[in-house]
Amino acid sequence: MNNRIKTSDPAVIALCSVAESEGIATVFDRYQAQQPQCGFGSLGLCCRICWKGPCRVDPFGDGPQAGICGADKHTIVARNVTRMMAAGAAAHSEHGRHIALALQKIGKGLLPAYRIRDEAKLYRIATLLNIDTQNKEMLEVAYDVATKTLEDYQNQDHHKGCHWISATLPKKRVELLSHLGVLPHNIDATVSQIMARTHIGCDAEPKNVFLGGIRGALADFNGMSLATELSDVMFGTPSPVVTEANIGVIDKNAVNIAVNGHNPMLSEVICDMAREMNDIAKGVGAPKGINIVGICCTGNEVMMRHGVPLATNYLSQEMAILTGALDAMVVDVQCIMPSLPQIGNCFHTEVITTMDENKMQGARHISFHEENAVETAREIIQCAINAYTRRDPKRVNIPNIKQTAVVGFSSEAVMAALSKIDADDPLKPLVDNIVNGNIQGVALFAGCNSTQTVQDESYQVIAKTLAANNVLMLATGCGAGAFAKHGLMNQQATEQYAGDSLKAVLTAIGQAAGLGGPLPLVLHMGSCVDNSRAVSLATALANRLGVDLCDLPLVASAPEAMSEKAIAIASWGVAIGLPTHLGTMPQVTGSDVITDLMQEGAKDLFDGYFIVETDPKIAGNKLVDVIKQKRQKLGI
C-alpha cells in the first residue's frame, strides 16, 4: 500500500492512481497537506468561543493555563465536546423533523408522491406512543403519530421526558436517566440550551457542562429513533436483500447516478422514477438504462430497502467520480465532501445539491421539496442522462472490485428470522444461545471513516477478532459500508471467520429463515440514523430478561468515529449503559477531568463508559474481555 493513501480498500488505491496521473487532489492529499495538525486542537485545548480568543492552554504546564476570560483546560475541553454533541443531535433531529413533517402532510393527503408502505408498523408505533386508533382511518393515525412525535420538538414541560425515549428504552434506564437529570424534554430546547450554557461566561463547571452534553446526546437518540421508525412507515421496513458493494457496481454501460447523504425523502423517489425513465436512458445509447448506486448513508437507506448496490462509504466518495463513469452525484444532507463539485468539473459528472440549506460552491442546485418530489426526481435523472451523452469513454476506469452483501436486518427482520425457530417466543432462541454461550455477546459497530486511521481496516480487524470469539455483530453507517465492501456481510464470511458455536447459530437461523445458508457474519442494520434499531433489539432482550441494558453482554464500537453525529451516538451509547469503544482519539485528552469522567465517572453514573483504543487488535481483545466480564456478572 502507498503509505500516503490511508485505505485498505483496493478500489480506492486503484482510483487514487487515476487521481495522481490526472493531477486531481483527493481527501488523502488534503490530509497530507494538513500535517502536522494542531496539537492544541487535537487535545481540545483551543477555544474560539469569543472574539477575545482564540485562546489555548499549554498542555505541558509551562505556558498559559487559562484563556483570557479565565476558562481553564477542563472548561474549554468540556465546552468543545459538548457543542459537538449538540451539533450531532441537531443533525439527526433535523433529519427526523423532516421525516415527521412529511408524515404529517401525508396524513393530510398533501403529498401524492408518498404513501404509507408499512401500515402494521404505523399501528405498532401508535400503540407505543399511546395513541388511540379506534375508529380512525389509516391516514388519520399517520397524522396523529406525526403530531405526537413533533411534540418532542415542542414540549416545554421539563418534567415530561421526550415520548420516543420513554417508549423505546427499558423503564429502568429511563428512570435512571431521569434521576440523573439528563433526560431531554424537548430536542430543540436541549440543543439550544447547550449553545446557551457554553456561551462565554456561562456554565464553567466541567462536569456540569459535560452532563448537559449527555442530555444533548440523548436528544440525538430521540431524534434518530423517530427518524428511523417513521421512515420505515413511509418507505417500508427493511428485510434481507442480496446486493453488491464497492466501486465495481458502477456500470460503464449505464447512466450511473449516485445518491449520497442521509435523508431518504428524495432518493426513494429517484429510485421509483429511474424505473420509469429507463428507456430514455437507453434511447441516448446507454444499453443498460439507469443504474442507481449509493454512497454513505443515503446509500445504506436505498440499499436496505431496494437492494440498490453501494458504491462506497464516506472517505472514498470522491472515487466514484474518478471512475469517469459517474454521470451524476445527487446529494442531500450530512457527510458530503465540499470537494465534490471541483472533482466533478474535471469530468462530465453533474454534482447536484438538493436541499436549500445544504449547497456547495460549483454544484448545480435543484431545490427539493416533497410537494414536487416527482418533478424534481425527473429533472435530476434527465440531467444525469444529458451528462451521460458528454461522457468520454476513454476516461472510463472502473476497478472491477465488488463483493456480495446480504443487507436489511431491521430489528423486525431479525425477529422474523428468529420466529422461524420459535414462533411463540422469537427471542427465546437468542436468549438461550446467549445463556448457553454459543453467542458470547453482541457488538454494534457504528460510525464513520476517518483519515486518523487506515480506511476500513480497524473494522475488519476488530470484527474478525469478535467473530472468532463467537460475538454476534451488527453494523450501521459507514461501518456497515466497510463490512459490505470488504465481503464481511455475506454467508462466505460466516463460514470463514465465525467461531464454531456462532457459525452453528447463524446457520440454524439462516436456514430456518430460508436464506439457504447462514446469516451473514455482520448484520446490516442500516444508516447511521438507524443505530436506534440495535437499541430496539437490545431493549426487547432486556425487557424479556427483566434487566437493564448495562446488564447485558453488549458492547458498541466506533473504530473510525469522526463526525459530531458519531460523538453524539457514542455518548448516548455510554448513557444507556454500553461500554463503547472509540478507535480514533477524541479531542478531549487535554483535560484529565473530562477523560476520567468519560471512563470511570461515566461507569459510576451510567454503568456505560468509553474505551479509547486506537490499536484494532488490542481493541478487539478488550471488547471480548468486557463481554466476558458482563457474562460473569450475570452468572452465565
Q: 310: which residues sit within 8 A by CB, 6+ positions away? A: 243, 244, 245, 246, 249, 293, 294, 295, 299, 300, 303, 405, 481, 484, 485
Phi, psi at 258, each rounded to 5°? -100, 135
> Binds 380, which of ligand SF4, ligand MSK, none (CB < 5 to 8 A, cut-off by type)?
none
3-class state of residue 394 by DSSP:
helix
Distance CA 576, CA 607 (A): 8
Least separation, in Å, of the C-beta of 65 and ligand MSK? 34
* 484 touching ligand MSK, by CB under 6 A: no
Least separation, in Å, of the C-beta of 322 and ligand SF4? 40
Q: In what order do the strands lie in the sheet with 364-365?
A: 364-365, 350-353, 328-331, 255-261, 290-295, 310-312, 241-245, 403-407
* 527 touching ligand MSK, by CB under 6 A: yes
* 335 touching ligand MSK, by CB under 6 A: yes
* 314 touching ligand MSK, by CB under 6 A: yes
User: Which stretch in 67-75, 452-460, 463-471, 564-572 sits in contact with ligand SF4 by CB under 6 A?
Assistant: 67-75
With cell 449509493, the residue in question is 294
Of the candidates 228, 578, 146, 266, the residue with the CA atom closest to the CA atom of residue 410 = 228
- Please give the span between the terminal C-alpha atoms of the chain, in angstroms, as a whole number: 44
69 annotated as ligand-binding: yes
Phi, psi at 429, each rounded to 5°? -60, -35
Write the single-letter amino acid at 267. S
Among residues 27, 297, 434, 568, the one that binds ligand MSK under rule CB under 6 A: 297
Among residues 83, 148, 485, 565, the one that binds ligand MSK under rule CB under 6 A: 565
Q: For strand 46-47 and strand 55-56, is the pairing parallel, antiparallel, or unpaired?
A: antiparallel
* 223 touching ligand MSK, by CB under 6 A: no
528 annotated as ligand-binding: yes
Q: For strand 403-407 and strand 241-245, is the pairing parallel, antiparallel, or unpaired?
A: antiparallel
* 477 touching ligand MSK, by CB under 6 A: yes
CB 187 within 8 A of CB 152: yes
User: Which stretch in 200-208, 386-394, 424-432, 443-451 sits in contact with ligand MSK by CB under 6 A?
Assistant: 443-451
Comparing CB distances to ligand SF4, the nearer of 33 and 51 is 51
User: Which stretch in 49-57, 328-336, 368-376, 627-635 sits in contact with ligand SF4 by CB under 6 A?
Assistant: 49-57
296 annotated as ligand-binding: no
* 448 touching ligand MSK, by CB under 6 A: yes
Among residues 113, 255, 270, 478, the one that binds ligand MSK under rule CB under 6 A: 478
Among residues 189, 200, 346, 415, the one that binds ligand SF4 under rule CB under 6 A: 200
3-class state of residue 602 by DSSP:
helix
* 206 touching ligand SF4, by CB under 6 A: no
CB 215 within 8 A of CB 187: no
Least separation, in Å, of the C-beta of 528 and ligand MSK? 3
DSSP code for 511? H
* 115 touching ligand SF4, by CB under 6 A: no
Is the peptide bond between 341 and the residue preceding it cis, with omega within 30 degrees of 0? no
Is the peptide bond between 36 and the residue preceding it cis, with omega within 30 degrees of 0? yes
Of the candidates 293, 284, 270, the residue with the CA atom closest to the CA atom of residue 385 = 284
Distance CA 487, CA 482 (A): 9
CA angle 73, 75, 78 (to 5 degrees): 105
Residues in contact with ligand MSK, total (CB under 6 A)? Answer: 16
User: Which stretch in 29-37, 441-449, 454-462, 483-491 sits in contact with ligand MSK by CB under 6 A?
Assistant: 441-449
> Binds 280, which of ligand SF4, ligand MSK, none (CB < 5 to 8 A, cut-off by type)?
none
Among residues 45, 71, 325, 515, the one that binds ligand SF4 under rule CB under 6 A: 71
Distance CA 116, CA 234 (A): 5
> Binds 477, which of ligand SF4, ligand MSK, none (CB < 5 to 8 A, cut-off by type)?
ligand MSK
Least separation, in Å, of the C-beta of 449 and ligand SF4? 31
* 209 touching ligand MSK, by CB under 6 A: no
Neighbours of 100 (CB within 10 A): 23
202 annotated as ligand-binding: no
Which residue ranges make up the annotated binding site? 38, 46-47, 50, 55, 69, 262, 297, 335, 448, 478, 528
Binding site for ligand MSK (CB under 6 A): 262, 296-297, 314, 334-335, 447-449, 477-478, 527-528, 563, 565-566
Which residue ranges make up the annotated binding site for [4Fe-4S] cluster? 38, 46-47, 50, 55, 69
Binding site for ligand SF4 (CB under 6 A): 47-50, 52-55, 67-69, 71, 76, 200
